Amino acid sequence: MKLKKGVKRFLIILLILVVLAGGAFLVWKFYPKERAQEAATVVSEIPGYGYTLKSNKSAQYKEMFQELTDILSESPVDEEAYVEQISKMFILDFYTLSDKVANTDVGGVDFVHSAAKTNFLEKAEDTIYKYVESDIYGERDQKLPTVDEITVSSIDTVTYELSDNVDDNAYQVSLSWTYKEDMGYQNEAVLTFVHEGEKLSLVEME
């Protein structure tokens, strides 16, 4: 039995629409990078220290990064001002989870000693970052903390032994901070920094 021309044309159009819809779905399904948020890029760095500023950082962090740049451009560097600044930046970046895109997007890594980074990342991803939901596509509605004000209460010089190296001029920094919304997250810590070449690096957090 032959189909009428009108019915045949309708079926052809329907088939084309189905094929187009299927193709669009496959593109959406298998090429997620096209749907993802634009990746953060490095917009500034401090040579010799390994500190980088990414485009997705908050205005507060960007301002602190510029202040750090100014501190490290002095000769000689005021180490107390230096350790105070990176302590604040670490707290801001590590404990602000609202701008992280996944639970592997751990903040503050730039300030951690190279020998401690692996352990630091593992602990972070298994504790405070463990339940951070993915926000690759900008659709997350999970409530996460944002650090607001940071206060340094003391900076002390201590002796610290790391492996076979002893630093007689290490620094211990005590801080407290507030959040834009109190969600029960940690709000005080003691950070220990040792010399690692030209830079000061975090080796312990209490």
- What pLDDT is attached to residue 2? 53
Q: Is residue 119 predicted with pLDDT exceeding 90?
A: yes
- 122-161 confidence digits (pLDDT tens): 999 999 999 999 988 888 899 999 999 999 999 999 999 9
Token code pair at residue 19? 């094929």
Q: Going by DSSP bridges, is the β-strand pair 51-54/147-162 parallel, antiparallel, or unpaired?
A: unpaired
- Helix or strand run (H / E) with residue 13: helix 5-30
Q: Which residues contact 176 (CB under 8 A, 6 or more apart)?
A: 150, 151, 153, 187, 188
Q: What is the pLDDT of residue 5?
A: 55
The label of the residue with tokens 């105070």 reads 84
- pLDDT tens digits, one per residue of 24-70: 555 445 545 444 556 778 889 998 898 999 988 999 999 999 999 99
Residues in the chain, overall count: 206
Contact status, residue 51 vs residue 65, Cβ threshold 8 Å? yes
Query: Residue 155 has which token pair?
Result: 């900076």
Question: C-alpha distances in angstroms, 93 versus 53, 75, 132, 173?
Answer: 11, 27, 15, 16
Dihedral angle computed from the Cα positions of residues 79, 83, 84 and 86, in that order, rounded to the nearest 10 degrees: 130
CA distances to 5, 95, 161 from 131, rounded to whole Å, are 59, 13, 34
Checking if the pLDDT of 3 tops 60, the result is no
* Identity of residue 161: E
Tell whether omega for the bond before 76 is within 30 degrees of 0, i.e. cis: yes
CA–CA gap between residue 178 and residue 155 (Å, rounded): 19
6 vs 196, more confident = 196
CB hemisphere CA count around 89 (13 angstroms): 27
Task: Flag the least confident range among 61-65, 89-93, 163-167, 187-191.
Answer: 163-167
Lowest average pLDDT, out of 31-40, 59-68, 86-95, 193-202, goes to: 31-40
Q: How many CA atoms lie within 13 A of 48 on its CB side?
A: 6
Reported as a pLDDT band with limits 50, 70 and 90, residue 163 is confident
